[in-house]
Structure 1
Amino acid sequence: MMFSHTSMSALPTSSAIEPVVRASSPMPPGYTFVPKGDPYLTRHCRRQTQEAHQVVYVVVDDKKKQIGIRVPIHIQASVKRSEIETRSTRKQLVRKSDESLEKHFREAILARFPRIPHDELPKIIHRATAKGKGRVGRTGTIGMDGKVRLAVQAHIRHTKTDYDGLLRNGTEREEARRLTLQKALDILKEWGPIPKKKQTPERTRKQTPAKPAQKTEDETAASKAVVPTNAAAEAGRQDDNTPTTTDTETEIMDEPQPKRKLKASSPDKAARQVKFASPLATAISVEAVVRQSKQATRQQAKRQRHNGKRHRAKSRLAQKRKAAQA
C-alpha cells in the first residue's frame, strides 16, 4: 500500500527519491524523524536508506526551511548504534584534523606576514577556522594563500579600524570599507616582509679591442714591396716558424671582440618584490572589483526602473486613446 502525502505543490523539491514534506504531515509507516544537526547521523541514514532503495523524506517547517529527514526506523537505529561505538575514535580524528589545519594556517600566515605580532595569531586562526559558520579557513574553493590573505584582512578590518562602528552608525558596507582601506593597507605593509634595499649593480668596464702596434719605417717600406708568390711565401714560413709583425697584427684584427654581458636581474629578488607587493595590490584589486560590481548592479537597477516607468506611461497612454476612440 503506497503512503499518500499531502499536496506538496507549494514546497521546494529536493529530488525524485527525496520528496519534501511539511513537519505537520503524517509520518509514513515504519519511518522516524532524524533532526538536522548531527552530520554523521544525517549522512549515514540518508546513504543507507538510498542503498536499500527506499525513500528519504526531506522535512521542512512552515517557513520552508529544512529541519531534518525521515528514514526507516531500523536504519536509524543501526546508524545510532554505530555512532555510539565510533564516537571516541571520530573525536580523536577530528581533533587531529583541526590541529593540523591550525598548524598549517599558522605557518602560512607567518610565511606571508613574518612581522605580524604573535598575540594576533590565535585570534586570526580561531576566527578563520571556526566550525559551522562558513569561515574562510574551512572553505575548499580557495587556496591557502587566499585564505590567509582574506583572514588577515578581515581581522585588521574588525579589530584595528572603526569598521564595525561605522556599520553600527548606519554607514553602508562599501563606504565603510572604503573609509578604512588605507589604514588596513598600512597595517598589512607593517606586518609584511621587510623590503630589502635596492642594490645598484657594478658597472663593467667597456672592453676595447687592443690597438695594433705602430709600424716602423722599415716595416712600412717592406709592406709596400712586391708580395712573394704563394710557394715562396710557404717556403719562408717553413724556414722560420716565428710569425711576423704583419701576421700578428692580422690575428689581432681578425679576433672577434668580446661582447658586453648584461646582468640579468635575480629571479629570487623579483619574486620577493612581487610577493611583498601582492597583499597590498590584491587588497586594492579586491576592493575595486567589489566597488565596480556594486556600481554596475545599481546602474542596472536604475535602468530597469526607468524602463518600467516608460512602459507604464505608454500603457496608460494607449488605454486613454482606446477609451477616447470608444
Structure 2
Amino acid sequence: MSTPTKRKVHRRKRRHAPRRDRVQKSQSGSSAKGSKSSTKSGILPPSDDPLEENIFEREPMPQGYVFVPKGSVYITRHCRSNTKESKKVVFVIYQCPPPCIDKEQDKAAKRTLGIRVPREIHENVSEQEALTSQRRSDAVDARDSKTISRARDLLLEEFPLMPRDSLKVILDHAFLKGSGRVGRTSMTTDKRKASLAVEAHIRHMHTPYESLLDDGVDRSDAREKVWPIVKAIKKTWEGSTDGNFVDLTLR
C-alpha cells in the first residue's frame, strides 16, 4: 500500500512542475505586453518618460481626460508640462495604421495625432492661451522685427555697395520667417548667413543660372559655371573689386 502512495505523490509533483512553468511564462508574457500598446496592426514602443504613455487612437478615453489635437504649440506644450507637474500621465495618441501592410509602411503610418490630458488642465491652459494671445503676438512681432533689423545692418556692413532693391529682396526672401531658407537657419553664424544669402540672390537674379537649369544642366554644374560671376558681383558689393566694375544686367 505504501509503494503506490509514493508513486501517486511523485506523479503529482511531476504534473505540477510544468504547470508552474506555464504560469511563470504567462506572467512574464503579460508583463512584456503591458510595456507596449499593441493592436492587430502593430506595436508601439514604450515611452522613455514615466509620465507619458504611447497609445493608439482606438484606445478608450481615460475618465476625466480630453483629446488635445496637434496644432497649437502653446496649448500642447503647457498641457503636457502641467499634467506632468500634477504627477498625472500624458497619453500620446498615434494614428492606427491600416491592416495588412508591411513593416516599413506600418512604421510610416504611425504618426502622432495629439495628446490626452486631464480636462481641467486643458481648460485652464486654453483660458491662459486666450488671455495672453495678444501679448505673445506682440512679443513675436518685436522679436521678428529685431531679427530683420539686425540682418539689414549686417548686410549693409558687409556689402555697402549692394543696390537697395537687392537688399530688400534678400531680406524679404532669404530672411522670411518660416521659409526654412539660409537667413533663418541656426546652424551657422550671422555673417555666414548673410554671405550665403547674397550669393544665392546673385546666382538667381544676376547670372544665367536659371536658364542653365531650364536647358537641362545639372544643378551642381550650373552653380559651378556661374560661380565666377557670383564671386565678382559679390566682391563689387563688398567694395573690393580693385577698380574692376561688374555689369549687373545679366539674367
- For residues 157 and 195 of structure 1, do their structure 2 counterparts lie closer, same or farther at Cα, with a shift above 3 Å needed? closer
Identity %: 38
Verify: 1:48 aligned to 2:94, yes or no: no
- Scaled by the length of structure 1, the TM-score of the pair is 0.52
- For residues 154 and 83 of structure 1, do their structure 2 counterparts lie closer, same or farther at Cα, with a shift above 3 Å needed? same
2:4 aligned partner: none
1:132 aligned partner: 178
2:48 aligned partner: 15
Verify: 1:120 aligned to 2:154, yes or no: no
- For residues 84 and 157 of structure 1, do their structure 2 counterparts lie closer, same or farther at Cα, with a shift above 3 Å needed? same
Once the two structures are superposed, what CA deviation does each residue of 1:266-301 show, in whole Å capped at 9, x if it has no partner? xxxxxxxxxxxxxxxxxxxxxxxxxxxxxxxxxxxx
Aligned-partner SS, 2:146: helix
Aligned-partner SS, 1:19: strand
Distance (whole Å) between structure 2 residues aligned to residue 23 and residue 131 of structure 1: 33
Distance (whole Å) between structure 2 residues aligned to residue 154 and residue 13 of structure 1: 45
Aligned-partner SS, 1:147: helix
Aligned-partner SS, 2:67: strand
Verify: 1:190 aligned to 2:236, yes or no: yes
Once the two structures are superposed, what CA deviation does each residue of 1:184-204 show, in whole Å capped at 9, x if it has no partner? 22221221124568xxxxxxx
Aligned-partner SS, 1:69: strand
Match of 2:194 among 148, 151, 175: 148
| Contact preservation (8 Å) 1:31, 1:70 | yes
Deviation at 1:21, TM superposition (A): 3.3
One-letter amino acid of the structure 1 residue matched with residue 48 of structure 2: S
Distance (whole Å) between structure 2 residues aligned to residue 57 and residue 118 of structure 1: 53
Distance (whole Å) between structure 2 residues aligned to residue 20 and residue 166 of structure 1: 50
Aligned-partner SS, 2:52: coil
Distance (whole Å) between structure 1 residues aligned to residue 60 and residue 162 of structure 2: 58
1:78 aligned partner: 124
2:140 aligned partner: 94
Higher relative contact order, chain-length normalized (CA < 8 Å, sep 6+):
2
Match of 1:39 among 54, 73, 90: 73
Q: Which runs of 5+ in 1 are unaligned?
A: 198-326
Aligned-partner SS, 1:110: helix
Deviation at 1:163, TM superposition (A): 3.8
Verify: 1:57 aligned to 2:91, yes or no: yes
| Contact preservation (8 Å) 2:94, 2:110 | yes
Aligned-partner SS, 1:68: strand
Once the two structures are superposed, what CA deviation does each residue of 1:192-237 show, in whole Å capped at 9, x if it has no partner? 124568xxxxxxxxxxxxxxxxxxxxxxxxxxxxxxxxxxxxxxxx
Distance (whole Å) between structure 1 residues aligned to residue 117 and residue 175 of structure 2: 32
Q: Which runs of 5+ in 2 are unaligned?
A: 1-33, 98-108, 244-251
| Contact preservation (8 Å) 1:12, 1:64 | no
- For residues 167 and 195 of structure 1, do their structure 2 counterparts lie closer, same or farther at Cα, with a shift above 3 Å needed? closer
Match of 2:204 among 158, 173, 192: 158
One-letter amino acid of the structure 2 residue matched with residue 58 of structure 1: V
- CA RMSD, aligned part only? 2.9
Deviation at 1:107, TM superposition (A): 0.2
- For residues 75 and 144 of structure 1, do their structure 2 counterparts lie closer, same or farther at Cα, with a shift above 3 Å needed? same
- Structure with greater Cα Rg: 1
| Contact preservation (8 Å) 1:112, 1:193 | no
Aligned-partner SS, 1:53: coil
1:283 aligned partner: none
- For residues 44 and 178 of structure 1, do their structure 2 counterparts lie closer, same or farther at Cα, with a shift above 3 Å needed? same
Deviation at 1:100, TM superposition (A): 0.7
Once the two structures are superposed, what CA deviation does each residue of 1:230-271 show, in whole Å capped at 9, x if it has no partner? xxxxxxxxxxxxxxxxxxxxxxxxxxxxxxxxxxxxxxxxxx
